[in-house]
């Protein structure tokens, strides 16, 4: 289920957070499964170029397979926002990066049987199998995450 994880440099994470706070005023709410503000698919934000490369490198180190990004986005949650349980198939790998956590650890994975709750930490990047069901319970505080999906690079 989990392929790997790593932490972003604190300064890079803080720079991303500052950029997002300036950009989010143009975003829409309630896209697909996400009941929060979203950047929409594949925004042209330079920090994603760095992040996509880092994730692909970690995925290669762990699997010895090459992956390329297929789509990416930012979610900005306010109190009461959530994400319905879902998966990212037909993509192969997915990732979530915690830019700002709400300190209640609302992200969960449905392992069927059993629920795995993630202890969220700012700067943490999780890489997981895209077929894994997951969701976000209602947030109690502001929360910012980045998501990137990958397919095999044949």
Return the CATH number at 83. Answer: 2.60.120.620
For residue 83, give its domain range.
Answer: 2-152
Cβ atoms of 35 and 29 closer than 8 Å: yes
Cβ atoms of 5 and 62 closer than 8 Å: no
Residue 141 predicted with pLDDT over 80: yes
Query: Computed from CA positions of residues 3, 112, 121, 26, in that sequence, does the dihedral angle turn out positive or negative?
Result: positive
Give the total number of structural domains in the chain: 1
Which ranges of 40-120 would DSSP assign to H, the alpha helix?
A: 46-63
Residue 149 predicted with pLDDT over 90: yes
Residue 12: phi and psi, rounded to 5, are -65, -45
pLDDT tens digits for range 11-37 = 999 999 999 999 999 898 877 788 999
Which ranges of the chain would DSSP assign to H, the alpha helix?
A: 10-23, 46-63
Instruction: Give the pLDDT confidence score for residue 124 in this predicted structure.
Output: 98
pLDDT tens digits for range 39-85 = 999 999 999 999 999 999 999 999 999 999 999 999 999 999 999 99
């Amino acid at each position: 289920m989990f392929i790997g994880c790593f932490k972003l440099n604190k300064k890079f994470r803080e720079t991303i957070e500052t950029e997002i706070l300036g950009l989010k005023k143009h975003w829409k709410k309630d896209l697909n499964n996400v009941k929060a503000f979203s950047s929409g698919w594949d925004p042209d934000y330079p920090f994603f170029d760095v992040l996509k490369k880092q994730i692909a490198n970690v995925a290669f180190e762990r699997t010895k397979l090459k992956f390329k990004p297929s789509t990416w986005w930012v979610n900005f949650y306010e109190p009461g926002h959530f994400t319905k349980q879902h998966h990212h198939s037909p993509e192969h790998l997915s990732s979530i990066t915690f830019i700002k956590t709400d300190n209640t650890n609302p992200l969960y994975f449905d392992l069927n049987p059993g629920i795995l709750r993630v202890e969220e930490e700012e700067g943490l990047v999780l890489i997981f199998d895209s077929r894994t069901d997951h969701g976000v319970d209602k947030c109690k505080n502001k929360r910012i995450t980045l998501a990137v999906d990958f397919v095999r690079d044949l």
